[in-house]
Structure 1
Amino acid sequence: MGAVRTIQRGGSRFYLDPDRPEIKLPGVTSVISMLPKPFLMYWAAKLTAELAVDSLPFVAQMAERDRQGAIDYLKGASRRYTKIRADVGSKAHDLFERMIRGERIGRVHPDLESYRELFADFLAKVNPELVRAEDCAWSDTHGYAGSFDAILRVWLDDERRPTPDRSGTAVLLMVDWKTSADTYPEVALQMAAYANADRIIGPDGSTEPMPDVDGAAVLHITPDQWALKPVRIDRDVFDFFLVLRKVFTWDREVSKTVIGRALASSAQALVTGTQRRSR
C-alpha cells in the first residue's frame, strides 16, 4: 500500500487509488472549476492593460525588436501574477502545516514573516488541537478526491467564540487556510466535499473513515490580519457540489461522445473507379 499520487490531464488534477492505480478520481478543486467565472476575463484584461500602461516605454522598445515577444509578454501578465500568488500560497501552507504540527520555526523568508506571526497569533488565541493535516479525502460513493488542510478540535463558549484555555464545548471542524485577497463562496463547496468524503487516506496509504465533523471554518490570512470564519457545509451546499461533479463528467467525458460522424455532407470531387484502383 502506498501514498496517493496525482496526475494532470487536460488541465485537471486526478488522484490515483494507491491500491488500484487504474482508478483515478477528479480533484475537488478541478470539479469546482466547472463553475462559470466570467469575471476572470475582465480581471485578466485589466491586468494586461495596467501592465501595458505602467511599462509603456519598455513594451514599445520590445515591440520594435520583437513584436510577437511583446505580445506574449503582455498576454502572460495574468498567468505570471497567478503563479507568483500560488507560490506564496504554497509556501505559506507549508509553513502553517509545520507550525500546527508543533515544529519549531526559525527564520523565514521576509515574504512569509507576516504569515508566520499571524498564524502564531491564531494558535495562541484559539489553541486548537490538531486531529489530521494535509491528508487525502476520498469519496468512493461520488467519485472525487482532494487534499484538505486540517481537521481541528477547538473549544467554544456559549457565544461560539474560541476559548484558548479549552474551557468551552469541544467541536470538530474541517478547516481550510486561505491566503487570497478575500474568501469566496466556493470554499463552502470545497469543504463540504471533504467533509462528506467516505474516508481519509494518509501519506503511508493507510485508510480510515472520515470522522463526523461538527462544522467547518476557513482561516483567512493576509499579510495584515487573520480571521477564522465559519463556513456552511450542510446537505444543500454538498448537493451543489454534486451537480458540479456531474458537469465535470459531462465536460471531460460525455460531451466527447454526443456528436457522431456526418450522415451526409456537401458534394465532393468525384473519384472514379479507375482512380480508386490505382491507389
Structure 2
Amino acid sequence: MAKVQNDEKGGSRVYFRVIEPEKRLPSVTTIVDMLPKKFLARWNANMAADLALDSIDYLQRMADRDREGAKRWVAGAAWRYTTDRGKIGSKAHDLFERMMRGQSVGRLHPDIEPYRRQFAEFMAVVKPVLVRAEDVAWSDTHRYAGSFDAWLMVRVTILPDGTWVLDPDGDNPLSVWVNVIADWKTSKSVWPSVALQMAAYAFADKIIDPEGTESPMPIFDGAVVLHITPEGWSFIPVYHAELLSALAWFLHLRETMDWEREGQRKALGKPLASSSKGLVTGTERRG
C-alpha cells in the first residue's frame, strides 16, 4: 500500500508513489496536451487584442509609465482568463463530488450556484450511481497516471447498433446497468480529445485510492462526458469501440512525449563541418 501524490512543474503534472518519489509518471492530461492546438495561437492573439482595444485609454496611460508592464498585462490576457476559469472549474468539480456523495454543500458563491442547479437536474434526470470518485488510474504498462472524476453506473437500453438510450427508471425490461468512466467538463465546448483522456483512464492497469490501496481496473462498457455550464448540461457517451480506438491514439502521444523529453536530445550529432572551422577530419575527431 503506497499513497500517490502529484506535482506540477513547468506546466506538466506528474504522479508518484511516496515510497518511490524518483519514479514519476506523466499525467494523462499532460500527454493529451501533446496534441497540436493551432487554434490556440489565434485565440491568444484575439484575447490580447480585445483587452487592448477595450481598455485603450488605460493601456496608453500604463504604457507611458511602464511600457514593459503594459506589454506583460496585454500578453497575459489569455493566461489570466484560463487561470480564472480553472479556479471555477476546480470549485465546480469539488461541488459535483460532494453532491454525488450526498453531502451538504451549504451556501455557494454566486459564480458556482448555477452549476449546482444544473448538476442537481442532471442527477434527477439521469439517476447515476456513484461507484468511485477522484481516484488515480495508474498504468505501469504504458507509464502514465491521472485522477478520473468518477466511475458511475448508468441504466440504459442497448440498441442493435450498440448505441444507448437512457432508462434511469428501468421502464424497459431489457435495460441494463453499464459501468462508465465519467468526466465533468465546465469549459465552453467539449473537444473530441476528451476521448483520449477517458480511454487512458479506462484502460489503465489499476485504481489507487487516497489511502494507497490498489485494485485492478475493471472492464468498462464505455465512458461519458458531462458538459455542464451555468446555462445547461449535456451527457455525452463515448462508446467502447471508440474508446478502444482512442487508446491507440493516446499511446502514440505517449511515445511522442518520450521523443520530446528524451529522444531528441541525441538525435543530432556534432557538426562534421562549419563555417568557422571548415572540414572536421577524422584525426581531429579522434583527438
The verdict on a shared fold, with TM-score over 0.5 as the criterion, is: yes
Gaps of 5+ in 1: 269-279
Q: Which amino acid aligns with 1:132?
A: R
Whole-Å separation in 2 of the counterparts to 1:257 and 1:205: 37
CA contact (8 A) 2:181 2:198 kept: yes
Q: 1:248 aligns with which of 239, 251, 257?
A: 257
Answering whether residue 245 of structure 2 is matched by residue 236 of structure 1, we say yes
- Counterpart in 2 of 1:183? 190
Q: Please name the residue that 1:136 is paired with.
A: 136
Give the one of 210, 213, 228 matched to 2:220. Answer: 213
What number of residue pairs does the alignment pair up?
Answer: 268
The whole-number CA distance in structure 2 between the counterparts of 1:220 and 1:126 is 14
Check the 8 A contact 2:153/2:180 in 1, yes or no: yes
Give the corresponding residue for 1:161: 165
1:42 alignment counterpart = 42
Does structure 2 retain, via aligned residues, the 8 Å contact 1:99–1:105? yes
* Paired letter, 1:125: V
Given that 1:18 and 1:205 are in contact with CA atoms closer than 8 Å, whether structure 2 keeps it comes out as no
Q: How does 1:1-279 map to 2 (within 5 A)?
A: 1-157=1-157, 160-167=164-171, 168-232=175-239, 233-267=242-276
* 1:218 match: secondary structure: strand
The CA RMSD over aligned residues, in Å, is 1.6
TM superposition score normalised by structure 1:
0.91
- Read off the aligned partner of 2:114 and give its amino acid letter: S
CA deviation profile, 1:143-171 (whole Å, cap 9, x unmatched): 11111000100111356332333453111
Letter in 2 for 1:162: L
Task: Summarize the Cα distance change of 1:124–1:246 in structure 2 as closer, same or farther, 3 Å threshold.
Answer: same
2:128 is aligned with what amino acid? P
Q: TM-score, normalised by structure 2?
A: 0.89
Greater Cα offset, 144-153 or 11-20? 11-20
